[in-house]
Amino acid sequence: MTLNPWRLRLLCQLETLGTVRAVASAAHQSASSVSQQLSVLERETGARLLERTGRRIQLTTAGHVLASRARDILDQMADAEAELQALGDDPSGVVRVAAFQSAIHSLVVPAAGALRLVHPGVQVFVDELEPHESTSALLRGDIDIAVTTTDFLDVPRHQDVHLVPLTTDAIVLVVPPDHRIARHDRIELAALADEDWTFDLPGSYMADLATRLCRRAGFEPRVVCRFNNYLIALQHVESAGSVTLLPELALDPRYDVITLGLTPPTHRRITAAIRSSSTPRASVTAVLDALRAQSSATTVPGSSSTSATVTSAAPTASSTPM
């Protein structure tokens, strides 16, 4: 019996994602192509791996057993590849990294650039994924490292995910330079209940977090703009007078805006996640080291007195409308 690694990965993805359509989307294949490949896998094994329940296809007991074994097989293949690469003088190969927007430009891209000078044989491929998406991609085997945060996310922690701490990032309020609260250092969100807000797209990490913080402060935010690009959000605050909540890593000194801390303070922990069941390749370890070094070296844009993004030392604003 000869088993095809690609078809084994499709079976594992079906167990994780639950539907053939989702597997097809993740594998960039048609649903019919995925179904055909799974049928071929059944013929190769001589076992009934799938069963139809209503309109859904589910794994049988044999299918679950093979999926579990397949993950071990695929991990062992990756380990063998890593050992062969380790025989060389320098780490090499492709490392697939997924990260959310603000971590890409502040952590991942600079780390990849620094890594090229030390280990030119390591290629870093980067995908932008929301934190709740990157963990699933890691478990499917689509990526090697997920730069993510588990703060404020209503998702269970998976036992096969090992988290490597990178840094801590504050969530801040961003307002135009002539805003009525611009001279304050910190603010309670209740003071902004009547403002026009700029948010990320619905369902995104920051949109959900900003909505949750506003509701916790006792009001429903009046969202006038939604962008999936932090630079556009900063531009709108600067020129159109809206306000927004952003992670400090997303700030850019080119925009004339004011940042204020929140009362109570809100922070998120940024981590790098890897599969704990497989031994990291030398190239993956090199990327993790570069991410840790970049995290230690990163200066939060709003923390510099020379930055265009400045906070003034002044009293904390209360929740009383101004």
How many CB atoms neighbour CB 225 within 10 A?
A: 15
CATH architecture of 90-168+268-299: 3-Layer(aba) Sandwich (3.40)
**Distance from C-alpha of 65 to C-alpha of 285, rounded to nearest angstrom:** 31
- Do residues 296 and 168 lie in contact, with contact meaning Cβ atoms separated by under 8 Å? no
Phi, psi (deg, nearest 5) at residue 52: -95, 125
95 phi-psi bin (left φ>0, alpha ψ -120 to 50, beta other): beta
Give strand pairing partners of 168: 269
Residues in the chain: 322
Q: Return the CATH number of 170-266, one of 3.40.190.10, 3.10.180.10, 3.40.640.10, 3.40.50.720.
A: 3.40.190.10
Among 73-77, 126-130, 257-261, 277-281, whose mean pLDDT is lowest? Answer: 277-281
Q: Determine the longest span between alpha carbons in the chain, in angstroms.
A: 75
Residues of the chain with CATH 3.40.190.10: 90-168+268-299, 170-266
pLDDT tens track for 212-244? 999 999 999 999 999 999 999 999 999 999 999
Instruction: Give the count of beta carbons closer than 10 Å to the beta carbon of residue 312.
Output: 10
Of the given ranges (60-69, 261-270, 297-306, 308-317), which has the lowest mean pLDDT? 308-317
Q: How far apart are CA 210 and CA 244, in angstroms?
A: 8
CATH value of 5-84 in 3.30.70.920, 1.10.10.10, 1.10.510.10, 3.10.20.30? 1.10.10.10
Domain with CATH 1.10.10.10 in the chain: 5-84
Predicted TM-score of the model (pTM): 0.69
